[in-house]
Amino acid sequence: MPLVTLPNEILCLLPLYIDNIESFTNAASSCRRLRDTFYTAHPNTILRLAVASAPTFFSPHPHFLIAATVRQASNWALGDASRTKELRRALQGGINSLLDFSIQYSGLSLPQIRSMHQSRFSILNPLSDLIDKMAGSQWYATPEFWNGGVSEPYTLDTEASRATFQIVIYGELFGPSMLAFLEPERADLPFFDVHTRLDYFTYCVPDWVCKSYPGFEVLPTGPYALDVEPPREGDQVALHYILRCGRWRRLWTASILEIMTFLGEEQTNKDSNMENEESWREKMLRDALLCQGLEGMQLVTVPEEKVDKDVMQRFRWIKKHIDKLERPPSVERLGKGGSTLVSHAPDPSNENCKERQGWCGIALGGSMTDSLLFVAYADGDVVRTSLRFTHKYAAPGVYTGNATVAEIAHEVTETGISFIFHCQDCLHWSQDGGSGRASTGSSMLDLGYAQSVQDPGNPSCAREAPLMLHDAQGTWTAMLDESATSDSYDQWRALANPTVPDNC
């Protein structure tokens, strides 16, 4: 019996027994009868077939298919406490667990698949290229990177394509929550709270520096499960940098101004370089547009005359409602010591607020190698210090020369440390056949610095504490003019006391 002579009721069941989306489309294109029948397949069936074809046709996997479907799953959970709890469990299981959640509560049509693949070339690839230029390999390729080549140099491990999808997924997942804050007069509009959004960053944007601290617990699930290899990615640090850097803000500011000009609306030209230079309305507008997900990214990747009309109308509606707000959404304090203010509205640039106490260091000769290195870090309420030395670009060992450090004053706050000290015999050094000095005879003194987000191992014993690789480094020049010396030097020096003794 020919296949096409079977009743429609049986033909409609065939997609349930096909192995993947490629076989499905091949069968559908074989004759008109199968095409008409298969195009009635349930969207969830098509999604499951698409998952079976990943990552060959839907890369990066699983991010591509999550970006295409997670808004449906988010809408299913929004406003229902038990469903939100189920969403949080899925988020805590990591990115693959979020895909399973999307498979269970969403679907995908063939037109949606075609639209997503078109978006890869019109939106996703251009956005990935922009991110690569602000925090990826193209950014690092800038000449004189650490010496003024870029305005905000930093040590990052950014995979631009993955970062692009992580941002898009955030918008698709939490975009519906933004409505409650654009129309605060409507008490019936539900939203996902800060802690649900933190679950996304914590478990679906893995990072090797993500650890528990007082007030914040990282569960041993998903990428942090005890039976899996710890994550090697640095995605949280990368996204935190991208969403707060001046290039990201200028990208959105320029695009918003161009769109307002195109729409013939009044505009205020403002260059958003730093946190305190933009108003809460400007930031909220950027966050609300980011929360439009994939479609919203047209605003920064597509010429304004080619942006979808519905996206333009949504832009107008969002801006109109933000302009009408009398005050910003309420906030709560998160992070170590409550040092990070996070909005109750979706606030992606501040929702990645893990503890990053770490250590900092100064290279008194300007370079890491063959130079005396001064390291300081907080250990509770005290500041511990260590002098280090190395001949190569590797973890420096303890300096065995005659230099000594004496503390004058210190302060440990929720956001950093300060340490005033007297360092004797620190401008000349000698160890293992290498020697050098930092001359104060000229008008300038070249110094280097390094910072790490990882705490030293065994912090109570500074001379033996292992130092993790620094995350940022650079140089600066001290100007040794008349203001560099003080008549009160001897008085300050008299205040110096031995540093806190090691507890080894």
Give the mean pLDDT of the chain: 89
What is the C-alpha R_g of the chain?
Answer: 28
For the cut 50, the answer to whether the pLDDT of residue 325 exceeds it is yes
3-class secondary-structure state, position 353: coil
> What order of strands is seen across the sheet that includes strand 359-363?
397-398, 382-389, 373-379, 359-363, 444-452, 472-479
Give the pLDDT confidence of 408-465 residue by residue, as tens digits: 999 887 567 899 999 999 999 999 888 899 988 888 889 999 988 667 877 788 988 8
- How far, CA to CA in Å, does 249 sit from each of 181, 257, 282? 21, 12, 10
> Which one of 3.90.190.10, 2.60.40.1210, 3.40.50.300, 2.60.40.1180 gives the CATH number of domain 359-498?
2.60.40.1210
Distance CA 378, CA 44 (A): 53
β-bridge mates for residue 430, sequence order: 435
- Pull the structure tokens for residue 69: 């479907």
Distance CA 133, CA 16 (A): 44
Give the pLDDT confidence of 254-285 residue by residue, as tens digits: 999 999 888 887 765 444 444 446 899 999 99
Q: Rounded to the nearest 5 degrees, what angle is found at the Cα of 400, between the Cα atoms of 399 and 406? A: 75
The pLDDT value given to residue 500 = 78
For the cut 50, the answer to whether the pLDDT of residue 174 exceeds it is yes
Q: Is residue 205 within 8 Å of residue 242, measured between CB atoms? A: no
Alpha-carbon dihedral sign for residues 214, 220, 223, 225: positive
Q: Where are the domains of the chain?
A: 3-41, 116-343, 359-498
Sequence-distant (≥ 6) Cβ neighbours of residue 341 within 8 angstroms: 331, 332, 333, 350
The pLDDT value given to residue 119 = 96
**Residues 63-91: what's their mean pLDDT?**
98
Give the pLDDT confidence of 233-259 residue by residue, as tens digits: 989 989 988 998 889 999 999 999 999
The pLDDT value given to residue 262 = 87
- Pull the structure tokens for residue 331: 């906030």
DSSP codes joined into one string, 49-95: HHHHHTTTSSPSTTHHHHHHHHHHHHHHHTT-HHHHHHHHHHHHT-H
Which residue would you say has higher pLDDT here, 27 or 469?
27
150-154, 196-200, 347-351: least confident range: 150-154
The pLDDT value given to residue 146 = 73
Give the pLDDT confidence of 16-50 residue by residue, as tens digits: 899 999 999 999 898 988 888 888 899 999 999 99
Give the pLDDT confidence of 370-415 residue by residue, as tens digits: 999 999 998 878 899 999 999 988 889 999 999 999 999 998 875 6
Distance CA 465, CA 397 (A): 10
The pLDDT value given to residue 283 = 95
Q: Which of 92, 113, 97, 94 is nearest to 45 (CA)?
A: 113
The pLDDT value given to residue 336 = 61
The pLDDT value given to residue 264 = 84
The pLDDT value given to residue 408 = 94
For the cut 90, the answer to whether the pLDDT of residue 227 exceeds it is yes
For the cut 70, the answer to whether the pLDDT of residue 338 exceeds it is no
13-22, 107-116, 208-217, 441-450: least confident range: 208-217
Which residue would you say has higher pLDDT here, 132 or 500?
132
